[in-house]
Chains A and B, each alone.
Chain A
Amino acid sequence: MEIRTKVINSHDKTPSHSDEFIKGLWRENPVFVQVLGMCPTLAVTNSAINALAMGLATFFVIVMSNTLVSLLRHAIPQQVRIASYILIIATFVTLVDYLLQAMSLTLHQALGAFVPLIVVNCVILGRAEAFASKNSAARSFLDGAGMGLGFTLGLLCLGMVRELLGSGSLFGFMLLPDNFEKWTIMLLPGGGFFTLGLWLLVINYFNRRKVQS
């Protein structure tokens, strides 16, 4: 598991509450800027529905664990903090697993082993360690929501491209004509790497242009 800690708060100036939320959407987007949580990003984005479900499941876990970690931050001793975070995250992942099964068993089957694997998604542990353990519950909630939403958006970007090319549909609705030749590779893990690479290319291109101008 890889944890990249970022210096989020400079002590001289506290960012506004809305800023805590917005930063996860674009400036510090977990998928495209931090490039974290690649395992679910590449594995389950072969359709927009799967990407959305995975994104929302992660969103739930990250928001809840951030809030709980923040509430308990004074009670958790430094020495056992990682163990405690994992315990908390694993709890919410188990909850998501049950809720998803109750909502739609077919969706749960499509996501397969990747729901339990949210536990090791480094975005979540990263936020708990880098943000929630040092900030108030309200701020942590907003940070989690922003990061979770940013993650969902990232997955959707991949999922939509892959579903459109790989199945000719979006969210299960056929968009392209019947005789469109489907790009099978887009549904395979290889297609995930290609699409992610292309998205990073596009985003870096625009970011660099912004810096230059």
Chain B
Amino acid sequence: MTIPHKKAPNKTLQIRPSPHISGGASVEKIMANVILALMPTVLFAIYLFGLAALVTILIGTFSCLLTEYLFCKANGKPSSISDNSIIITGVLYSLTLPPGLPLWMVCIGGIIAVLLGKLLFGGLGYNLFNPALVGRAFLQAAFPSAMTTWYPAMNADRFTSLPLSTLTFPFTTPSYDTISSATPLAAMKFDQILTDSSDLFLGLSSGSLGETSSLLILTGGIYLIARRMMRWQIPAGIFITVVIISTITHNISPNTYPSAQFMLFSGGLMLGAMFMATDMVASPITAKGCFIYGLLIGVLVMIIRLWGGMPEGVMYAILFANAVSPHIDRWTQPRPYGYRKTKS
């Protein structure tokens, strides 16, 4: 789905695939639907991690909203909060964070996400990268140890008390009250311990707030695809490459490389493929382009996961593909009717 009137103005004639008119969809409407599709994942995160997830999502979203509001005000521009897109950025950003992350870090990441990821490029429709991932990438680079300390899911007192680290005084080092648990991907990479695929699918494992339940994310994504508010080519491209590559490597060496189910349902792949990679502005326009973009993300994810230094690579894969997507658009520009291929 593209938002033609919000795209960067271009003096040359743009050729886009039809149909050009889609039944009354507006930015607000699409964004509201995306929020609806994200709701199951949000609620499940709160169920798994309790108050920690609730405050993280609230503060993360609020810091994004406030940044956008203040920036618009300071620059004398009309406020762009009402188009709902900033709420999505805020919620998606919060969902990528580990539970129990100090709230002051959540705030800083939210400010960076909106300011550096979106507003400095010119606001909605102009951002090169997915703002939510820009915020997360900054936090990952700035506070690597806090970003890789995982609070275990399903704690008994999760609805009555907050983890100690959440309320850390701003700019100080967090201290942790519970032993952190490794994410399934880290356990696989560093200790060769495999987590059960059905646990992964249902989401009963440790990880970022929103990367746990593949089932609920898939449901939300399918809802959006059914309402034609999301390009199915992108997640399809990602899943196909991930399945193909992991099946091949798993068959070559089953002990070193995990199976396709594990790769599909672990880490941020589901959330990334369904909600991050499909960011309407940062992804390509044409259907063919979207598929190529999906393939690129899938390949990068697998390379980073299998042979890279880090256990998870969805974030960097998507950010990299975001940077490439204008070029993908150029290669896949459909030939206007009656034109011949120009020989170079």
Chain B residues numbered 110-149 whose CB sits less than 8 Å from any CB in chain A: 138, 141-144, 146
A212 at interface (Cβ–Cβ under 8 A)?
no
Do A186 and B142 touch (CB < 8 A)? yes
Question: What distance in Å separates the Cβ of A187 from its nearest Cβ neighbour in chain B?
Answer: 10
Task: Name the residue on B nearest A178 (C-beta).
Answer: B173
**Complex Cα spacing A114 to B120, Å:** 31
Do A188 and B143 touch (CB < 8 A)? no
Most chain B beta carbons < 10 A, residue from A185, A188, A190: A185
B174 at interface (Cβ–Cβ under 8 A)?
yes
Do B172 and A183 touch (CB < 8 A)? no
B337 at interface (Cβ–Cβ under 8 A)?
no
B307 at interface (Cβ–Cβ under 8 A)?
no
Which applies to chain A's interface (DSSP): helix, strand, loop or mixed?
A: mixed
Task: Name the residue on B nearest A176 (C-beta).
Answer: B171
**Complex Cα spacing A194 to B102, Å:** 22
Question: What distance in Å separates the Cβ of B310 from its nearest Cβ neighbour in chain A?
Answer: 14
A184 at interface (Cβ–Cβ under 8 A)?
yes
A180 at interface (Cβ–Cβ under 8 A)?
yes
Do B142 and A183 touch (CB < 8 A)? yes
Do A179 and B142 touch (CB < 8 A)? no
Question: What distance in Å separates the Cβ of A9 from its nearest Cβ neighbour in chain B?
Answer: 38
Chain A residues numbered 140-185 whose CB sits less than 8 Å from any CB in chain B: 177, 179-181, 183-185
Return chain B residues, CB-CB under 8 Å to A185. Answer: 138, 141-142
Do B138 and A181 touch (CB < 8 A)? no
Do B173 and A190 touch (CB < 8 A)? no
Do A184 and B173 touch (CB < 8 A)? no
Most chain B beta carbons < 10 A, residue from A180, A184, A186: A184
Most chain A beta carbons < 10 A, residue from B102, B141, B174: B141
**Complex Cα spacing A181 to B144, Å:** 11
Do B172 and A181 touch (CB < 8 A)? yes
Return chain A residues, CB-CB under 8 Å to B168. Answer: 181
The 6 closest A-B pairs by CB, nearest first: A185-B141, A185-B142, A179-B172, A181-B173, A183-B142, A179-B173
Instruction: Give the B-binding residues of A (Cβ under 8 A).
Output: 177, 179-181, 183-186, 188, 190-191
Interchain Cβ contacts under 8 Å between A and B, 10 examples: A179-B173, A181-B102, A181-B168, A181-B173, A183-B142, A183-B143, A184-B142, A185-B141, A185-B142, A186-B142
